[in-house]
Amino acid sequence: MNKIFIIIKREYLSRVRRRAFVVSTFLFPIFIILIITGSVFLAVKSTEKLRIAVSDEHFIHSLKSDSSSAIFEYNPDANQKNFDDKGYSAYLKLHPADFAEGVDSIVTRKSLGLETMSDIRSRIRKAYENTMLEQKGISRTTLDSVLNVISTYPNAQQQIVNNEGQVKEAHEGLAYGIGFGSGFLMYLTMFIFGAMVMRGVMEEKMNRIAEVVISSVKPFQLMMGKIIGIAAVGLTQFLMWIVLLIILFSALQLFIPADAMAHAQQNMPGSQNATIAMKIMQQKDAFMGGANWPLIISCFFFYFLGGYLFYAALFAAVGSVVNEDPQEAQSLMLPITMPIILAFVILTSTISHPNSPTAFWASMIPFTSPIVMMGRIANGVPEAVPWWQLFLSMALLILGFIFTTWLAGKIYRTGILLYGKRATWKEMIKWIRRSS
């Protein structure tokens, strides 16, 4: 036991002290912050407004808006040939009465981006909408006040009732975010740290240090020492990232004016996830109370460790049979990486349908369960995942990693001492069958 600890310590320290570790630990959060601040500044910068000449005076009032990225002006002298001489970036030609004359067109010299175009289009629709509302006798202000009142109403709440009549609220949006986020993190870590284990084993074999070490300790101790040491490296890096991100984010909020941030949030060309994250940020209370955080976090750690142990042992076995040629590693890794990728594919459908048969089976089988189960758990235990399913899945994962570790130990023991030729699958099966 003491010897395993010495190995763990070396594996851990030698990696944590490496320049690459320090650099990636600090660069990753800075990189994320740079992307965010970058997009904030881009959004702020692009507020330089376009001046657009409009052909029809009638709509000019409705077109105007403070939040729009364009300034609309009516200029009877401007036309689609001379608009840039008059200082306009574009010329908007409207045909509100009869589209047979032609569709509305925006004439410009330089092409306008997707966002500007969609902004202009929505302004035009709004202008038509206002005109039509007025024709029907409804003023824009009346409609806005009605919409305002409605927007303060709470959304319809999903409530899950169990047999005893207890009611629980569900937050499907939040569940989606948590499920996808934790599943994706799981997917990444398996690849990153699995590959790290494999490279470590290959390095030991190629440096010819393996035989020196296993004349002092059992091969299994060396393998487990490496696997646990690297797990500790991974946890350290996660922890550092979280701490650094929190520090950097709070520092950022001090430096960026609040209105610029708010503006950026409105205009941010964000992806789906960013908007979800934004919404979550805005509804902090729902975020904190909307999920069973202690359960989710403890499940995450369980499935992270279980899944890592399950795959890391297999990666170690692959590393032990490879010789010199990194391409051998690629082809041997394939049977291990395929289930991880498959699990991620299943995860994407699991989040929307946590109770489908695919989701159920994939969350039981240890090959895919660490990733898929996280997607299901986010929807609530025991609402989406009954307790027995969770415990069965955990038990199977524990049995699974005991099995893969045992299996890998047998391959590793022989493979690490075999120089010169790559072992075939047939030989590896023989090593597994052979008793010690």
What does the binding site for other proteins look like in residue numbers (CB under 8 A)? 3, 6-7, 10, 14, 18, 203-204, 206-209, 211-219, 417, 419, 427, 430, 436
- Peptide bond between residue 294 and the one before it cis (omega within 30 degrees of 0): no
Give the integer Cα–Cα distance in Å for 128 and 119: 15
Q: Residue 434: left if φ>0, alpha if ψ -120 to 50, beta else—which one? A: beta
CB 333, min distance to other proteins, A: 23
Give the integer Cα–Cα distance in Å for 121 and 68: 11
| CB of 7 or CB of 106, closer to other proteins | 7
CB 194, min distance to other proteins, A: 21
CB 195, min distance to other proteins, A: 18
| CB of 3 or CB of 279, closer to other proteins | 3
Give the integer Cα–Cα distance in Å for 414 and 408: 10
Give the integer Cα–Cα distance in Å for 417 and 30: 43
CB 9, min distance to other proteins, A: 9
- Degrees, nearest 5: CA angle 385-187-315: 115
| CB of 119 or CB of 204, closer to other proteins | 204
Residue 34 one-letter amino acid: L
| CB of 17 or CB of 81, closer to other proteins | 17
Length in residues, the chain? 436
CB 420, min distance to other proteins, A: 10
For residue 73, give the 3-state DSSP assignment.
Answer: strand
Please give the distance of CA 372 from its chain centroid, rounded to a whole number.
14
| CB of 2 or CB of 141, closer to other proteins | 2
CB 414, min distance to other proteins, A: 10
CB 270, min distance to other proteins, A: 42
| CB of 217 or CB of 394, closer to other proteins | 217
| CB of 207 or CB of 327, closer to other proteins | 207
* Concatenated DSSP letters of 374-419: HHHHTT-TTTTS-HHHHHHHHHHHHHHHHHHHHHHHHHHHHHTT--
